Structure 1
Amino acid sequence: MVAVKIGITGPVGSIKAEALQKIMDMLINDGMTIQGVLVKEIVEHGKLKGYSLFDINTKKRVIFADSDIISRVKIDKLGVDTRLLEEILIPSLQKAREEADVIVIDEVGKLENLTKNIQKEIGETLKSEKPLVVTLHKKSRNPVLQEIKALEGIRVFDITPINRNLLPFRVVRVIKGEEGS
């Protein structure tokens, strides 16, 4: 049996993050171990200042993209500390593939192409035999989104202000095998 893979797409903003948090809380309440990484925007005075990465298992948080970081690698015109990002993301996903009941990768499209090592790690995680929940930007031209949509067993849900409260319940049912394709 192929492990359930869930993709959640939607508009920029907190709606995906809120749904993902609700899904994680529900799965944890059901006794499941969740591991992986969450990405959070850092906004100051209404302006995007950076991004942080949070390892769900170790609870370690690092700021990996910031307007003050000088780097050839950029996300939304912000410099990216790829070494710092790899130090957290790679062991987090490796451990998740070994130990987690469900793996979470938040904002996979933003992270995927930053380095070859990260690309390889995310690719291996996407192919793993564990249930997986990823969030993505809704840009259909993004090759990562196309790659995820082509995965065996993938279900992609588009979150909207209308379905935002019900979607987490539906995703949890799919992960637990209570709702078919």
Structure 2
Amino acid sequence: MAVKIGITGPVGSIKADALAKIMEMIRNQGKEVQGVLVGEVFEQNRLTGYTIFDIYSKKKVVFAEIGLVSRVKIDKIGVDTKLLEEILIPSLQRARETADVIVIDEIGKLELTTKNVQKEINDTLNYTKPMIVTVHKKSRNPVLQEIRALEGVRVFDITPINRSLLPYRVMKVLNGEEVS
């Protein structure tokens, strides 16, 4: 059975920093990491949008920004659902076919955008490959509950205190070593 790892934590860069370190460690083992990363766009210290980055193709686009008129919103920011789907869907389909480890960053924000995105994420979550997902820590986030319910899932809560050790703990789990 494939290991699935969830990383939860507060808003800020510590989840992204830990994920970048984990991805580097996986690559150093000669394994292929694919999937999507979500980034925040700031202007004058104000959140103004979100980017999505396809790890394989290295294509990065702003798929959500203030002022974008859309029925779909993330944190009150309009989402270009067509652009999001153009990056996310082929990225996850390719990852299921060719990656050794699949990454989906900020899964909670993405999953609530469109039915197509939701289906792609669910198909990927239920696929039999090792996977790492990050989720913003909100106690009642339904996506987090779904992830916790999957078979073989380990959820790690990242904090400023454990942030430097967490990538090593995640790697032990990915490599089949028991971690308490």
How many pairs does the alignment contain?
180
SS in 1 for 2:90: helix
1:81 counterpart residue number: 80
3-state secondary structure, aligned to 1:37: strand
Q: Using the alignment, how far apart are the partners of 2:21 and 2:147 within structure 1?
A: 22
With the length of structure 1 as denominator, give the TM-score of the two structures.
0.98
Residue 68 of structure 1: how far off its partner (Å) = 2.5
Question: 2:61 is aligned with what amino acid?
Answer: V
Task: Within 5 Å, give how 1:5-154 maps onto structure 2.
Answer: 5-154=4-153
Distance 2:133 2:118 in 1: 15
Hey, what does 1:167 align to over in structure 2?
166
Structure 1 segments unaligned to the other structure (5+ residues): none
Once the two structures are TM-superposed, the CA of residue 69 in structure 1 deviates from its matched residue by: 1.2
What is the identity, as a one-letter code, of the residue corresponding to 1:83? K
Q: Whole-Å Cα distance in 2 between the matches of residues 14 and 180 of structure 1?
A: 24
Please provide the CA RMSD for this pair: 0.8
Q: Partner of 1:86: helix, strand, or coil?
A: helix
Distance in 1 between residues matched to 2:61 and 2:120, nearest whole Å: 18
- Which aligned runs of 4 or more in structure 1 are off by greater than 3 angstroms? none
Letter in structure 1 aligned against 2:115 = K
Distance 1:26 1:20 in 2: 10
Asked if 1 retains the 8 angstrom alpha-carbon contact of 2:7 and 2:133, the reply is yes
Identity %: 71
Counterpart Cα distance in 2 of 1:32 and 1:59? 17
